[in-house]
């Protein structure tokens, strides 16, 4: 928990230079297929307070279902923090009916940054 709090304290507003454009565009359009290309082999999902430890294929379907029920209308990276072997960012995802906060944790695996934790929760305006 202290590591997460420290990351948030050290996180800085960002212009998302370290987040691949393809990944940002995938969140903007609700493209679970492209997002899943960034998943590590062992991914944890937390979507609207439901916890999953699915396979990559199952994670893609869970995310696809989320986007089916909550089509994005906007996406913006709010904060980003990077360490030698990991990367973290917070974003806001807007939909027609509600706004969501997205937390993504990457690990550097075999020369690539792979998502090992993806959390989507209802936005609490005080958190930004």
pLDDT, average across residues 90-96: 95
Instruction: Give Cα 3 to chain centroid, integer Å.
Output: 18
Q: What is the pLDDT of residues 35-75, one digit of tens each?
A: 999 999 989 999 999 999 999 999 999 999 999 999 999 99
pLDDT in the model for residue 83: 83
Question: For 110, left (φ over 0), alpha (ψ -120 to 50), or beta?
Answer: left
Domains and CATH numbers, the chain: 20-122 (3.10.450.50)
Asked whether 73 and 96 are in contact (CB, 8 A), the reply is yes
Element (H, E) at 48: none
Query: What is the chain's percent helix, strand, coil content, to nearest 5?
Result: 30, 45, 25
Minimum mean pLDDT range among 31-35, 38-42, 81-85 = 81-85
């Amino acid at each position: 928990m202290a590591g997460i709090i420290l990351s948030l304290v050290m996180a800085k507003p960002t212009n998302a230079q370290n987040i691949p454009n393809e990944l940002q565009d995938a969140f903007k359009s609700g493209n679970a297929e492209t997002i899943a290309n960034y998943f590590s082999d062992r991914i944890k999902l937390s979507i609207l307070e439901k916890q999953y430890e699915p396979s990559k294929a199952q994670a893609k379907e869970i995310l696809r279902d989320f986007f089916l029920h909550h089509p994005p209308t906007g996406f913006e990276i709010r904060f980003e923090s990077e360490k030698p072997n990991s990367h973290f960012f917070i974003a806001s995802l807007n939909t027609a009916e509600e706004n969501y906060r997205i937390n993504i944790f990457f690990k550097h695996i075999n020369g690539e940054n792979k998502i090992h934790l993806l959390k989507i929760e209802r936005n609490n305006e005080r958190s930004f």
